[in-house]
Structure 1
């Protein structure tokens, strides 16, 4: 073996090797620190997610209690308050199930001295409105000592006024919109557009008039007449219920357009007999019922329901309702 292999290592080479070892050690230390930060971040995200799931689960678990609203919080005499807000339709806040349940709870509470329906609604389903109207009449007959008052805030029109007409008395602000006693059902017709696009519509039915509301086919005179008859019948049911609820207070002779679908201000509605006075919820509770303490019996959405609605779960239903594809609406 040659002597060159036994030469002592130079100081520079030794120093270079030690520097390399130092850099490797530093690199390992830095990598370990980064990995530790990543692990900490992952665990932090995990625990935050776990906390969110726990809190959300708790809200869902206790949602039945939250749905009771504020009823029962006040032990003494009170005025029961029930909100009728938004479109009156199935699965909405102002559905018959929600309003009827609230009404029953309010009337059955031994401390209730009077009930107020605070209305802010443009109307909606004649069926849902009819259910609520009938239940108000039944509860008033079953509890003759408890009066029910409707108080209209911004708007109480169409199906909302249908409900209000079942009350002992109706109050509104002088600028509230009241009335709109009529029925509407609307959609769109796309026949001309399809002709321009060269699209051929093919519908197969087992009944001659099964597709008579199809917006992609031209309307037929006899089917239009039939549908108008359905709307007229529903309108007459609406008129009969309002007359039964309001009685001689309505000034029909002075204004033959009372049932034409027009809407009036609260000040005008008072002169027409559509309402009994001008006043707010607090005014009615304090000066008419004589019990200013309000207890809210309105059914509240659960946190899960509110979360779903924020995600747009009910958008499709609302669009269909606005376009008239869910049957007639009182407007």
Structure 2
């Protein structure tokens, strides 16, 4: 083979090799591009799907109508308060009051049982619920409301219970704690030891009142005690009005102490022993029980799933670090 022929064969081989590599690179590039496009489309699809689920959850929450007002025949209406009584959650007035309203409004309910298991909480929320019970009892005089205590009905929980026609407990239930507290921490001594200077600027001499990094003056402490005493007196008035002559007052009744259910019966804080089932069966004479307690809505559950409620809770805890509490 001549040199020219050899060169031509080598050139053709090289050209064919370069064409094959170029074609392979083009195929790989197109495949990568198609994969990126598919991944982008699936990403958009899943984002839209998540937004659709959230939107659907909100739509369900806004348009959901419970079966509280449906006709189910004669029955005992049940509303439950579990946990702390706060502005948010199952123990808030915004949850409990509508449930009580529904329970009373239904013609088929022969009476209402309010089942309480709470150590207490906000005097404001407890006061709102107490006032609503008083109003409902006047509006529906032939429909009694009985409180049944589970483990604990203390402080704010008892504030609510005092408005009932009667209160039933277990002999080992914890009842009472008729008092008010305001708690917090003071770090001034620690700051002095660490050599940390607190720089707090206020307009108004008491604007920094109860700041944990500033000393508490005698006038400020006296002011706080007067405010607690005022709220405590409101609590005492509610109990006296609700229990009436059944209450056997002693110097310890309003001291903040708590007692067993059996002792609470002796003191007139409660009326007797019973459970939800026994009160429905033996007192209201209607064993069929319908629960009117408002459960957590689907939108809130979805938001909590995505961690939104956690951020709200942290912000709220920072904003409400110090406040009067019935517990």
TM-score by length of 1: 0.84
**Matches of 2:280 and 2:15, distance apart in 1:** 91
Question: In structure 1, what is the equivalent of residue 277 of structure 2?
Answer: 282
> What's the secondary structure of 1:124's corresponding residue?
coil
Moved more, 142-151 or 209-218: 209-218
**Matches of 1:147 and 1:182, distance apart in 2:** 27
**Structure 1 runs not aligned, ≥5 long:** none
**Matches of 2:144 and 2:270, distance apart in 1:** 16
Provide the aligned C-alpha RMSD in A: 2.8
Q: How far did residue 76 of structure 1 move?
A: 1.9
> What's the secondary structure of 2:212's corresponding residue?
coil
Question: In structure 2, what is the equivalent of residue 54 of structure 1?
Answer: 52
Cα 1:159–1:40 change in 2 (3 A) is: same
Higher relative contact order (CA 8 A, sep 6+): 1
> What's the secondary structure of 2:311's corresponding residue?
coil
Question: In structure 2, what is the equivalent of residue 29 of structure 1?
Answer: 27
Question: In structure 2, what is the equivalent of residue 329 of structure 1?
Answer: 325
**Matches of 2:173 and 2:311, distance apart in 1:** 30
Matched, 1:136 2:104: no
**Matches of 2:22 and 2:96, distance apart in 1:** 73
Question: In structure 2, what is the equivalent of residue 258 of structure 1?
Answer: 253
Q: How far did residue 330 of structure 1 move?
A: 1.2
Q: How far did residue 50 of structure 1 move?
A: 1.5
Q: How far did residue 199 of structure 1 move?
A: 0.6
Question: In structure 2, what is the equivalent of residue 248 of structure 1?
Answer: 245
Contact 1:64 1:302 in 2 (8 A): no
Summarize the alignment of residues 100-249 of structure 1 with structure 2, pairs less than 5 Å apart: 100-196=97-193, 197-206=195-204, 209-249=206-246
**Structure 2 runs not aligned, ≥5 long:** none
> What's the secondary structure of 1:329's corresponding residue?
coil
Q: How far did residue 231 of structure 1 move?
A: 1.3
Q: Match for 2:62 among 64, 67, 90?
A: 64
TM-score by length of 2: 0.85
> What's the secondary structure of 2:124's corresponding residue?
helix
Question: In structure 2, what is the equivalent of residue 95 of structure 1?
Answer: 92
